[in-house]
Amino acid sequence: MFGKGIKSRIFLAMLLFNAFSAALLGCREGSAPISGQVAPAISGNDIAGDYVSLSQFKDKVVVLYFWSSKCCGDKLKQLEPFYLQHKYDGLTLIAIEVGGSKDTVASFVKLNRLTFTNITDEYESISRLYRVIGFPTIFVIDKKGVIQKKISGDVQNDKLSALVSPLLKQ
SS3 sequence of the chain: CCCHHHHHHHHHHHHHHHHHHHHHHHHHHCCCCCCCCECCCCEEEECCCCEEEHHHHCCCEEEEEEECCCCCHHHHHCHHHHHHHHHHHCEEEEEEEECCCHHHHHHHHHHHCCCCEEEEECCCHHHHHCCCCCCCEEEEECCCCEEEEEEECCCCHHHHHHHHHHHHHC
Region 123-135: mean pLDDT is 95
Q: Give yes or no: residues 106 and 131 share one domain.
A: yes
Q: Give yes or no: residues 41 and 20 share one domain.
A: no
Among 70, 103, 89, smallest CA distance to 164 is for: 89
Residue range 98-118, pLDDT digits in tens: 999 999 999 999 999 999 999
Q: What is the pLDDT of residue 32?
A: 81
The answer to whether 100 and 68 are in contact (CB under 8 A) is yes
Q: What is the pLDDT of residue 159?
A: 96
Q: Give yes or no: residues 88 and 20 share one domain.
A: no
Residue range 68-94, pLDDT digits in tens: 998 889 999 999 999 999 999 999 999
Question: What CATH number does residue 151 fall under?
Answer: 3.40.30.10
Full domain range(s) for residue 11: 1-30
Q: Give yes or no: residues 18 and 57 share one domain.
A: no
d(CA 62, CA 85): 14
Q: Give yes or no: residues 96 and 119 share one domain.
A: yes
Number of domains in the chain: 2
Q: Considering just the CA atoms, what is the radius of gyration of the chain in Å?
A: 20
Residue range 17-29, pLDDT digits in tens: 443 334 333 433 5
Q: Give yes or no: residues 23 and 44 share one domain.
A: no
Q: Give yes or no: residues 23 and 93 share one domain.
A: no
Q: Give yes or no: residues 110 and 128 share one domain.
A: yes
Q: Give yes or no: residues 94 and 114 share one domain.
A: yes
Window from 26-40, 57-71, 87-101 with minimum mean pLDDT: 26-40
Q: Give yes or no: residues 139 and 154 share one domain.
A: yes
Q: Give the chain's mean pLDDT.
A: 86
Q: Give yes or no: residues 64 and 121 share one domain.
A: yes
On the CB side of 119, CA atoms within 13 Å amount to 23
Q: Give yes or no: residues 100 and 18 share one domain.
A: no
